[in-house]
Structure 1
Amino acid sequence: MAAPLKVEFHFDFGSPNAYLAELALPEIETRTGVKFDYIPVLLGGVYKATGNMSPGESLRGIKNKPEYNALETERFLRRYNITKFKPNPFFPVNTLALMRGAVAAQFDGVFEPYFRAAYLHMWVEPKKMDDPRVFRDAFLSSGLDIDRLTARAQQDDVKKKLIENTSNAVARGSFGSPTFYVGDEIFFGKDKLREVEEEIAAQLAAGRRKTA
């Protein structure tokens, strides 16, 4: 029996494009029957390892490109009927605590509520989430036991896992966020969701032919 197809979404809460892309994933899962694995990575670590920089930095001072980037974002919002998105006025936000918290939440079985709360407070009701007091109050308002998770996030296995996720992503070809893997095939950017879905369908079909 063939192993199930592995599809991955590598994310950092600091990436607005990862937030927007993730909102489209449930429809892809419904159409294909495949579930994405959510892999927390530290985008700052990815940038450092690859010599990359955030779009905010790379677009600064370039005529017309930031405006086009904003236009593409508006088109994406319309295409996927996304109504809950606000640019974070405190951007860029240091996401180390947020991403360690995501790993801790995975380890402790509370990833889904943590993930939704983190994105709410970053890109729906945006806050300065690298301020420890703001961070704590935000997650408390979402009903999470954030003090326990914050303590868990300081443990070595959590820190090690986030480092491993990040270094493994770079080793496999990642240089930014959002990054998707369908098996060993890599796709970068929210504008590649159609190609991601097509690759899922192609690999599923190939797997069925092998077992037929």
Structure 2
Amino acid sequence: MKNPLKVEFQFDFGSPNAYLAELALPAIERRTGVKFEYVPVLLGGIYKATNNMSPAESLRGIKNKPEFQALETQRFIRRHNITKFRSNPFFPVNTLMLMRGAVAAQFEGLFEQYFRAAYHHMWEEPKKMDDLEVFRSAFISSGIDIDKLIARAQQDDVKKRLIDLTTDAVSRGAFGSPTFFVGEEMFFGKDQLRDVEESIVDQTRQLVSKTA
């Protein structure tokens, strides 16, 4: 039986933490019966709207904290048995083209294939994915008709959809990626996944009791 609870994973391909968090979602789906809705947002737009900055910028010059963050990431990778992650040497990558492509892929019914390829070429076999020719070659190698999606991504409805999703995320409290919504409850960061799952279980129980 499908879980009636609305649960969202808001992501930008430029966030390594969103990549890592997403790999843990299938296990949560199996345990809870929930299905995450994948919501593309533009992280640069969120940062601008909230006066936030990337961890690379915010941690610059701080003693010990970057080292701890790196240690925490390794713990997460071990906990979830993640083997394919590689740091992208071209980071940070401008993801506007990638994220418009994600919305276009949703409109065209190609999202799952596009999503997996994008993460593969960003964080498993990392490339400079804000270079158009690199971008095209990468997706072509993954068997995707990327020229069709590039053209679709330039249409106004795709651009508006990405802006609207990003604006909505900020209005609901988002300030970075990955952000999760369980019903109306917001969680930020891969380290909140245990709380995300706990909230799914609690809210599902409440929904069931109301309809019993």
Q: TM-score, normalised by structure 1?
A: 0.98
> Is 1:10–2:10 an aligned residue pair?
yes
The residue correspondences of 1:39-118 to structure 2 (distance < 5 A) are: 39-118=39-118
The alignment partner of 1:39 has SS state of: strand
The alignment partner of 2:44 has SS state of: helix
In 1, Cα distance between the equivalents of 2:42 and 2:149? 18
Structure 1 runs, 4 residues or longer, greater than 3 Å off: none
In 1, Cα distance between the equivalents of 2:193 and 2:126? 25
> Is 1:199–2:199 an aligned residue pair?
yes
| Matched residue, 1:167 | 167
> Is 1:31–2:36 an aligned residue pair?
no
In 1, Cα distance between the equivalents of 2:207 and 2:162? 31
The alignment partner of 2:97 has SS state of: helix
In 1, Cα distance between the equivalents of 2:68 and 2:125? 25
| Matched residue, 2:151 | 151
In 1, Cα distance between the equivalents of 2:143 and 2:58? 37
Q: Mark the runs of 5 or more structure 1 residues left unpaired by the alignment.
A: none
In 1, Cα distance between the equivalents of 2:195 and 2:37? 18
In 2, Cα distance between the equivalents of 1:208 and 1:139? 43
Deviation at 1:98, TM superposition (A): 0.1
Q: Mark the runs of 5 or more structure 2 residues left unpaired by the alignment.
A: none
Deviation at 1:4, TM superposition (A): 1.8
In 1, Cα distance between the equivalents of 2:143 and 2:57? 35
In 2, Cα distance between the equivalents of 1:207 and 1:41? 28
The alignment partner of 2:160 has SS state of: helix
Question: CA offsets per residue over residues 139-192 of structure 1, 9 Å max, x none?
Answer: 000000000000000000000000000000000000000000000000000000
In 1, Cα distance between the equivalents of 2:211 and 2:117? 41
The residue correspondences of 1:123-138 to structure 2 (distance < 5 A) are: 123-138=123-138
The alignment partner of 1:180 has SS state of: strand
Letter in 2 for 1:143: G
In 2, Cα distance between the equivalents of 1:204 and 1:63? 42
Letter in 2 for 1:189: G
In 2, Cα distance between the equivalents of 1:211 and 1:65? 47
The alignment partner of 1:91 has SS state of: coil
Letter in 2 for 1:198: E
In 2, Cα distance between the equivalents of 1:109 and 1:197? 28
In 1, Cα distance between the equivalents of 2:117 and 2:203? 33
RMSD of aligned residue pairs (Cα, Å): 0.7
In 2, Cα distance between the equivalents of 1:178 and 1:39? 10
The alignment partner of 2:37 has SS state of: strand
In 1, Cα distance between the equivalents of 2:16 and 2:60? 17
Deviation at 1:211, TM superposition (A): 1.1
Letter in 1 for 2:147: D
The alignment partner of 2:128 has SS state of: coil
Deviation at 1:120, TM superposition (A): 0.2
Question: CA offsets per residue over residues 91-136 of structure 1, 9 Å max, x none?
Answer: 0000000000000000000000000000000000000000000000
